[in-house]
Amino acid sequence: MNIDLSGRTALVTGSTAGIGEATAGALAAAGAEIVVNGRTVESVAETAGRLGGTGVTADVGTVAGAEAVIEQVADVDVLVNNTGMFTVQPVFDITDEEWLRCFQVNVLSGVRLARHYAPRMARRGWGRVIFVSSEAGIQTSTNMVHYGMTKTAQLAVSRGMAQEVAGSGVTVNCVLPGPTLSAGVLTMWDDLYPGLDAAEQERRFVADGRAANSLLGRLIRPEEVAGLITYLASDQAAATTGAALSVDGGLVPTIYP
């Protein structure tokens, strides 16, 4: 399969690290003109320069940040709503402010951007909107309930938007990664398993932590998630819409999705 995104412009939010950075790189390798997004000028400039794209510095988890992106990038062909946050916290200790902030960053960031870009894609007759959700959206983690709530919400938002643009040439989908090796996960491991190296932390996490049921026996790598996103961004995925596609290493014990 030869995925060719030449002539397409792709915006990936939160793309200076982790899944977002890997996705921006994969889309660029497939020929897309990429727009890198992040919250610091330095990281955006470095990542965009290294991947051969342009950059927009803005916190899309805020109204002002989303508006800044739209003002600088009026149209895109591919929108990857990747920006996200998570914290490990007992559910009864989560404050109203923390619930709302998690929802703003993980859900409304993508809603605001898709609300602008998707109708314009539909008028042009082609487009791809992809939400980076999580397996936590279908099996809630006890110590990250607010995170799981937002990932479940993304599934509903994605399906509803797909229905709204039905027959227009625009597809809207979610991908559901399992625990993925990223800077945020490494930081979390330092709290969970202080003093151990990353390889031993991963082994412990798989053995008795969130990834204990993984059929891979390890965490997902960002590039593996990026591969699925790149497929969904392609012409080859034209018949896939309104779907939630798993890339969790078999962590969720179900054959669907």
Q: Which residues are catalytic?
A: 147
> Strands 127-132 and 9-12: what pairing?
unpaired
* CA 75/CA 189 separation, integer angstroms: 39
Of 57, 59, 101, the closest CA to residue 83 belongs to 59
Stated as kind and residue range, the H or E segment containing 45 is helix 41-51
Q: How many CB atoms lie within 10 A of CB 65?
A: 21
Stated as kind and residue range, the H or E segment containing 150 is helix 145-164
Distances (CA, A) of 4 to 1, 7, 156: 10, 9, 30
Question: Residue 50, CB half-sphere, CA atoms under 13 Å: how many?
Answer: 14
Q: What is the dihedral of CA 134, 136, 139, 142, to 10 degrees?
A: 180
The residues, ordered by sequence, that sit 6+ positions from 214 with a Cβ below 8 Å of its Cβ are: 178, 179, 206, 248, 249, 250, 251
Q: What is the dihedral of CA 103, 244, 222, 209, to 10 degrees?
A: 70
For Cα atoms 44, 81, 239, give the angle at the middle one, nearest 5 degrees.
130
